[in-house]
Structure 1
Amino acid sequence: MTTTIALVTGGTSGIGLGIVRRLQQDGMTVAALDLDTDKNRQVAQEAGVLFIPANLAEREACKKAIEMVSTELGGLDVLVNNAGFQHISPIKDFPEDTWDTMLHVMLTAPFLLSRYGWDLLGRSGRGRIINIASVHGQVASPFKSAYISAKHGLIGFTRTAALEGAETGITVNAICPAYVRTPLVDKQLADQARTRNLPIEEVVSRVMLEPAAIKHLLEPEDVAALVSYVASRAAWGMTGSVLNLDLGWTAR
């Protein structure tokens, strides 16, 4: 039985690390892509996965990442586009270079990684592209214009790629979580408090969980469990789907 090879971007912390660990448990050979720092290298080493250093804001880095997976692991069956970051600011104050970088990391890079990895994913006849979008790929909130624009675009890309990939057995789906308890979310607390003029201790209840029916933050393992299913053979008939893991946010 051949080993399934997976690449997870943003794979050394938060949701990405949770996905890396779950796919390992599922028996996959996993590569974690992230920025080239000593901490990220150490996390990947401790997890026992191939570390791929890359800045996804750079076009050439996307191509080299796919080449490294192919060379080091011998192919690619599952691509999880998870990497991202947030900047919270009103549009009138939003830094132009930050906008450019965010769209490149969260929208252009998933396209490029899919494009460069397309033949590898199609070769096995069971390729999976799983895009970690967000509830903000379907609804909007103030002060997050670049993030929300990128995530809306990622859902559009998901649907288009699903139509194109079907003939070669590549399925493409998007997962849309609500707020997940990660270092990235922790870093948002002060920015959200500042832009909304709230005490920092009220941000989770009055901003992050206010639209949700279930008043608890998700954990990375919750997202990873859904990725595990979408990456499995059982999900062969699912493509072009937008899967909400949003605590009931969009049920209103």
Structure 2
Amino acid sequence: MTDDSIEPAELTADDLLVVEDDHFTAENVAIVTGGGSGIGRATAVALAANGLTVAATDIDEDGLAGTVEKAEDVGVAGTVETVVGDLTDDDDLERIVEEAAEFGQIRYLANIAGLQHIDPIDEFPVEQFDLLHSVMLRAPFVLSKHVIPHVEATDDGVGAIGNMASIHGHIATQDKVGYISSKFGIRGLTKCIAAEGDGTLRSFSVSTGYVKTPLVTNQIPDTAEERGISEREVVEDVMLGDAKVTEMMEPAEVANLFTLGFSKHGRHLDGGDLTWDGGHLSTY
């Protein structure tokens, strides 16, 4: 399906929220997973625009190179470093954090990497269910496990872990059991981190409606086939039909929520969820 309504706009400096924060400096590092495309790329650029050193990680080396190029085009105040890694490999997860620590003091972790698979439960491949949970729930747990000691070792223990959830971490639709169950789980992990963080190490989740990313656009044909409807009906009825704001979000808009959550302006956001859904969940 070719439609300007689902294609992201070119990311520019004007799209990015920039805030004053004493911790947003080059000495401090934010790890961003899924940094090679979509929301992960936008978040890496947004945090670098705020002066942080970003360790963007992805299995896609070319995608990471594109993120570095985009950061340079935007003219960020900080830097984007790259760490190629496989989120399904425990050794890689530990190495990602170790390499990120070489760039500075780790204070922030944005767990953004995501996958999707469309099938009803009785046909849903177990290996796909396991893969989605490995990338979107287990990896965030393992990365958090490795990142927390780095935050605790800072002079003031200030830092935050932000987790990409979804409106599908609040409600369920058909044919997405792997994605939805992992997103409900990531909200639980977020609350567990907050419970142990003592208020200086915070955690939060971000739940959006549909965003203009490859993860979303690539599922449109499969959803159309599974439901026996057109691709346009998937966008207009399935994805946006229950929302009051009937347009998809830009990746930069989601990235700005991570900037806000990591900043001093989010200091009372701890265990909670930033729900930016265009009225999808709360209106009818």
Task: Give me the TM-score of the superposition, normalised by structure 1.
Answer: 0.95
Are 1:240 and 2:240 matched, yes or no?
no
**What is the distance in 2 between the residues matched to 1:41 and 1:54?**
11
The alpha carbon displacement at 1:91 in A equals 1.0
1:60 aligned onto 2:64: no
Whole-angstrom CA distance in 1 between matches of 2:152 and 2:244: 39
Q: Residues 55 and 61 of structure 1 are in contact (CA less than 8 Å); yes or no, is this contact kept in structure 2? A: yes
> Which residue in the other structure is 1:87 paired with?
117
Secondary structure at 1:237's aligned position in 2?
Answer: coil
In structure 1, the gaps of 5 or more residues are none
**SS of match in other structure, 1:18:** helix
Q: Does 1:175 align with 2:199?
A: no
Pairing 1:6–2:36 present:
no
The question of 1:108 aligning with 2:131 is answered: no
Which letter maps to 2:65? Q
Per residue, is there more helix in 1 or in 2?
1
Question: How far did 1:152 drift?
Answer: 0.1
Structure-to-structure mapping, 1:79-158, within 5 angstroms: 79-124=109-154, 125-158=157-190
Query: What whole-Å deviation, never above 9, does each CA across 1:96-140 have from its counterpart, x for those lacking one?
Result: 111111101000000000001111122232111000111100100
Contact 2:33 2:40 in 1 (8 A): yes
Paired with 1:237 and 1:208, the residues of 2 have a C-alpha distance of: 31
| d(CA) in 1 for partners of 2:67, 2:218 | 22
For residues 14 and 41 of structure 1, the distance between their equivalents in structure 2, rounded to whole angstroms, comes to: 11
Aligned-pair identity (%): 37
Name the counterpart of 1:50.
81
Say what the alpha-carbon RMSD is for the aligned residues: 1.3
> How far apart, in 2, do the equivalents of 1:242 and 1:228 lie?
14
Note if 1:217 corresponds to 2:248: yes
Cα deviation, residue 147, structure 1: 0.3
Quote the Cα distance in structure 2 between the aligned partners of 1:36 and 1:63. 18
**How far 1:157 moved relative to its partner?**
0.7
Quick one: distance in 2 between partners of 1:143 and 1:236?
A: 37
Structure 2 residue corresponding to 1:70, chosen from 97, 101, 125: 101
Deviations 1:156-196 (A, max 9, x none): 110111010126x1000001011001121110110110111
Shift of 1:44: 3.7
Q: Count matched residues.
A: 249
User: Which of 19, 43, 46 is residue 43 of structure 2 equivalent to?
Assistant: 19
Superposed displacement of residue 237, structure 1: 2.2
